[in-house]
A and B are shown apart, each in its own frame.
Chain A
């Protein structure tokens, strides 16, 4: 039986996604037996020239992690789209821009100034280093999720994708049972569905950060005033964070018919805030609770800003 040809690529990424592949424990033996890795920059040495030489559609599946931050990321994404039969957005950055998508709150200029200081210190796209010409890929104005550049067939969400989802994917791949295009290897329902904490359907009367209180491990974090993105986030991870006494931060992205995870969670939190009564007399108290949320975008769009309706900062 012919082996499945797998490619793995990292674009703007921290490397965690590559590591997460190893978390599938002994299943990795199965993968090794049935598949060849034809591209994996993190583990093997493949040149772009080799990649270009592959015939279109000759890689069965490409797991693409990381977001599109540079011209190079974009170019390779397009190239891989051609070479791959199936392209998978692997991890939050490929799926939605991820944490690094928050960089979209700043312009390219602001980012460079922060990093390199005065404009004269900025790296140049074309330069001569040690007598050789050096070309650096252009830094895009905005970070993009993979899906903004090429068509994506599947999504394995997470930052990094948790073992459950990765192994669910390999089961399908190795078993020849890849689902319909567009599938997300996570639960259809939100995280609350699998979270063992008990939700008491209470109003949020204060907002605290996890380290500020000793939270009750049995009770829903929202009920205790900790902003948990679980409601607006797909399950599939087994509610790993809430079970470790940390709120969900939304890395798996929203459920199927939500376009903007942050806006949705903003709605939810604003709806739930309150003293339990609704009335004019409560308005001040409500405002005070809302004021406890600092960094609205960072809270609600931690992973999804680049894929949100606004995509990043507008200049006005």
Chain B
């Protein structure tokens, strides 16, 4: 588990979790009483394929310092291939973010299955650590320009 960089900054992270895998993986992390930083606000989507660029940008606009998208592993999407579509969107979106000067690492896509409570915990912990290191997003209000 990554050690949290403790610079006092408490980032806000929106996590879009697909209902069949990552959301269930987060449930499993809960059932197994694993702990991770409380900075993420989970939001259930039916499929990672529902997460679009506008939603991610809206999250940054409204003050998120990081956005996590959790989907089923390749080949496991409950709806066959929604995760592949989102994977492509994320590639383009990261490039768009970079072009407008937002660090693309602030957006993270991870495949977490319903049986991977540990991976959920690790992903959230590491991602929170990374965003802490990056500091506030330039759009979150407290971020510097």
Contact = CB atoms under 8 A, between A and B. Distances in A.
A–B touching in complex (CB under 8 Å): yes
Interface string A262-276: 111011011101100
Contacts of A314: 100-102, 137-139, 145
Interface string B83-101: 0110111011101100111
A102 to B, nearest CB: 11
Contacts of A295: 99
A270 B83 CA distance: 12
A105 B102 CA distance: 12
B61 A278 contact: no
B30 interface: no
A105 B54 contact: no
A312 interface: yes
Interface string A284-316: 001100100101110010000000111011111
A282 B61 CA distance: 33
A178 interface: no
B52 A105 contact: no
B100 A313 contact: yes
Interface residues of A, number: 35
B81 interface: yes
A287 B87 CA distance: 10
Contact of B89 (A259, A270, A278, A312): A270
Given A259-B54, A309-B61, A315 B138 contact: yes
B96 A297 contact: yes
A271 B101 contact: no
Q: Give the most central of A269, A271, A279, A282: most B CB within 10 Å.
A: A271
Nearest to A314: B138
A138 interface: no
B74 interface: yes
B87 A283 contact: yes
A166 B139 CA distance: 37
A18 interface: no
B88 A270 contact: yes
A263 B143 CA distance: 23
Given A269-B92, A309-B61, A314-B102, A260 B54 contact: yes
27 contacts: A105-B99, A263-B57, A264-B53, A266-B89, A266-B92, A267-B54, A269-B92, A271-B85, A274-B84, A274-B88, A280-B74, A283-B84, A286-B84, A286-B88, A287-B91, A290-B92, A293-B92, A295-B99, A296-B92, A297-B96, A308-B57, A309-B54, A309-B60, A313-B101, A315-B144, A316-B101, A316-B103
Interface of A: 105, 258-260, 262-264, 266-267, 269-271, 273-274, 278-280, 282-283, 286-287, 290, 293, 295-297, 300, 308-310, 312-316
Given A259-B54, A316-B103, 8 more contacts: A267-B89, A280-B75, A309-B61, A310-B100, A313-B101, A315-B138, A316-B102, A316-B138
Interface of B: 52-54, 57-58, 60-61, 74-75, 80-81, 84-85, 87-89, 91-93, 95-96, 99-103, 137-139, 143-145
